[in-house]
Amino acid sequence: MAWEQDRDLEPLRRRLEAWASERLRGPARVSNLAVPGGGFSNETLLFDLDWREKAADGAHGASRREALVARLEPAFRVFPHYDLERQFRVLERLQGSPVPVPGVRWQEPDPGPLGAPFYVMERVEGLIPPDRPPYHAGGWVTELAPAERTALWWNAVATLVAIHRLDLRDFDFLAAEAAGDPLERQLADYRRFLAWAARGRPQPTVEAALAWLERERPAVEATALCWGDARPGNMIFREGRCVAVLDWEIVTVADPEQDLGWWLFLDWHHSTGIGVPRLTGIPDREETIARWEEGVGRAAKHVHYYEVFAGFRFGVIMIRVAQHLASLGLPIPEDFETNNPCTRALAHFLGVAPPGEAEDVAL
């Protein structure tokens, strides 16, 4: 979008203000508009909104101010499909549940007002474990005492368990995703995603991982709501407790071990996988699996499979991230699509030569 490159956000502020005034049927003021840094799969605006409520008779009521967030459909798509309405509906159904999420305000499917569809939700104050640098290497998590990190981790895992204990009947609009074999469906989806992202270029490590995943595919033991991007970096914490779960772009219905595998792979990737010592106080893989099993009331029988699945999915996503970084003119290695921290970590999990050390990767 044009406003991404322009440092002057005033035109965007005026457009957002005009949209809010129309939506609220009265004058509204947008202030403190900011574009935060973050991930590549969405575009985010932070702003304050002031308006006056209207009484039933149309008279102006009390003044209101809210700190809000707008999530926009991205101009550069990491994923082949981006369904904002689906994300909004999931957040709506999670209101008042054991899973803390921001309150949702409005959805705007028309790209006219801001140049892309978007939805608006409340801004939740707190701290997010960073990805750059990873929370094992820098940022506020490193400043906590080991016992505080332990408590933070277990609270985060308890939140993950709460997601997996939700009643799927409350998410009936996702029923089609529970039909048949959800793992088979997702492998087919990611096979298409890989073809779309790679554009005919060989991707040795992720292609080898896909072949392994299709050959070793286990039976789905149970289905639950799966967050998709399950990791501490998508949680807001306040006083050691998770107060909001963010980023539901790849939410689905599947075996909840899928979320557990993503959680474990990303934590390993953000520490040992990139040569960073794990922080003392953060429970290890085996302890985390045991706590998750206790919480959901079932054994995790296929954790390694779902860790490889996580690395594969992350590897496919990194193809598009590499293309996006290149499109921005950022200095990245020529082979970054195929040889990056994720694909090297994935090769480790597969037990094959890392990218760059062999022309072909086969299992």
Task: Report d(CA 308, CA 205) in Å as an integer.
Answer: 11
Residues 144 and 78 in one domain: no
Residues 117 and 147 in one domain: no
Task: Report d(CA 134, CA 170) in Å as an integer.
Answer: 34
Tokens read off for 49: 């909104």
Q: What is the pLDDT of residue 180?
A: 84
Of the candidates 169, 163, 164, 171, the one whose C-alpha atom is nearest the C-alpha of residue 100 is: 163
Task: Report d(CA 14, CA 2) in Å as an integer.
Answer: 15
Query: Cβ neighbours of residue 6 under 8 Å, at least 6 residues apart?
Result: none
Q: What is the tally of structural domains in the chain?
A: 2
Task: Report d(CA 64, CA 51) in Å as an integer.
Answer: 5
Residues 221 and 99 in one domain: no
Q: What is the pLDDT of residue 361?
A: 43
Please indicate, yes or no, if residue 128 is contained in any of the structural domains.
Answer: no
Please indicate, yes or no, if residue 288 is contained in any of the structural domains.
Answer: yes
Please indicate, yes or no, if residue 363 is contained in any of the structural domains.
Answer: no
Whole-model pTM: value is 0.92
Residues 56 and 176 in one domain: no
Please indicate, yes or no, if residue 289 is contained in any of the structural domains.
Answer: yes
Which residue range forms the structural domain that includes residue 102? 2-122
Residues 319 and 195 in one domain: yes
Query: Which residues of the chain carry a pLDDT beneath 50?
Result: 1-6, 358-363
Please indicate, yes or no, if residue 264 is contained in any of the structural domains.
Answer: yes
Q: What is the pLDDT of residue 6?
A: 45
Residues 244 and 329 in one domain: yes
Q: What is the pLDDT of residue 3?
A: 41
Per-residue pLDDT of 53-99, as tens digits, reads 776 666 667 889 999 999 999 888 899 888 999 999 999 999 999 99
Please indicate, yes or no, if residue 361 is contained in any of the structural domains.
Answer: no
Please indicate, yes or no, if residue 61 is contained in any of the structural domains.
Answer: yes
Instruction: Give the domain CATH number at 296.
Output: 3.90.1200.10
Of the candidates 81, 276, 326, 274, the one whose C-alpha atom is nearest the C-alpha of residue 190 is: 81
Per-residue pLDDT of 174-209, as tens digits, reads 987 777 899 999 999 999 999 999 999 999 999 999
Residues 204 and 340 in one domain: yes
Residues 176 and 109 in one domain: no
Instruction: Give the domain CATH number at 49.
Output: 3.30.200.20
Please indicate, yes or no, if residue 356 is contained in any of the structural domains.
Answer: no
